[in-house]
Amino acid sequence: MSDLFSLSVVVPVWMEAAGVEDTLAALQPLRHAGHEVIVVDAGSTDGTAELARPLADRVVQAEKGRAVQMNAGAAVASGSLLLFLHADTRLPSNALDCLGAFFQSGRAWGRFNVSLNGNRALFPVIAWFMNQRSRLTGICTGDQALFIRREVFEALGGFASQPLMEDIEFSRRLRQVSRPYCIRYPVITDSRRWEQGGVWRTILLMWRLRWRYWRGEAPEVLAHSYRSDVRNATD
């Protein structure tokens, strides 16, 4: 069904030399099927861009920030369907078939279920709650590999240029167009941030930041709090 659409996968990166080759190697079957992979680097100094070039159709530079980087990737993409993928996340092997079913559905946008790759017993529970929350609220987070028809992305003006919660802000606007198309086959995301920051501490941090965002606090303030909490957790 992938001949129904052309896919552009946009991967924002910064200082990802340790894992960018593995991330992009997993996307080579998509390129062999005629789709494109675009890497958007934010001025990495560890050789990320150089490692990415042989494994991507385009490597472009942008200011640091996922929203800015994803918009920059979308601006040079040629696909009729855009998919935004975090550098620590892997698509399921049947992603093209799933996206083909989405394309035929007539929906405007969607996301995958998510699964964490760690071995802790709590990780499947966390993933279940993330997926259920998304299904009930119609809100997609970046870990879930948001995908969207190009014309809808352009009509909405892309992601808001904010340093945090850009995925939630965009989902809010997308819900006014349609409910998300939810693919039950999961993307696999790295559990590193949960393990480094502590599972319960990370859960509480995410809940607290989202609650503050829903109450109207500025993304800039939340981004400062997030960076401080992450530094304290890893010191």
Report residue 2's pLDDT band, with 50, 70 and 90 as the boundaries. low
Report residue 150's pLDDT band, with 50, 70 and 90 as the boundaries. very high
Q: What is the mean pLDDT of residues 88-103?
A: 96
As a whole-number percent, the residues of the chain with pLDDT over 70 amount to 97
Q: What is the mean pLDDT of residues 85-105?
A: 96
- Write down how long the chain is: 235
Distance CA 153, CA 55 (A): 25
Q: For 12-47, what is each residue's pLDDT tens digit?
A: 999 999 999 999 999 999 999 999 999 999 999 999
Q: What is the mean pLDDT of residues 47-58?
A: 98
What's the confidence (pLDDT) of residue 1? 52
Report residue 231's pLDDT band, with 50, 70 and 90 as the boundaries. low
Q: What is the mean pLDDT of residues 73-84?
A: 99
Distance CA 137, CA 133 (A): 6
- 234 pLDDT exceeds 60? no
Residue 115: CB partners within 8 Å, gap ≥ 6? 123, 124, 127, 186, 187, 188, 189
What's the confidence (pLDDT) of residue 98? 97
Q: What is the mean pLDDT of residues 70-83?
A: 99
What's the predicted TM-score (pTM) here?
0.94
Q: What is the DSSP string of 146-157?
A: -EEEHHHHHHHT
What's the confidence (pLDDT) of residue 192? 86
Distance CA 129, CA 8 (A): 29
- 235 pLDDT exceeds 60? no
Average pLDDT, the chain: 94
What's the confidence (pLDDT) of residue 196? 83
- 75 pLDDT exceeds 60? yes
Q: For 170-199, what is each residue's pLDDT tens digit?
A: 999 999 999 999 999 999 999 888 888 888
What's the confidence (pLDDT) of residue 228? 76
What's the confidence (pLDDT) of residue 136? 96
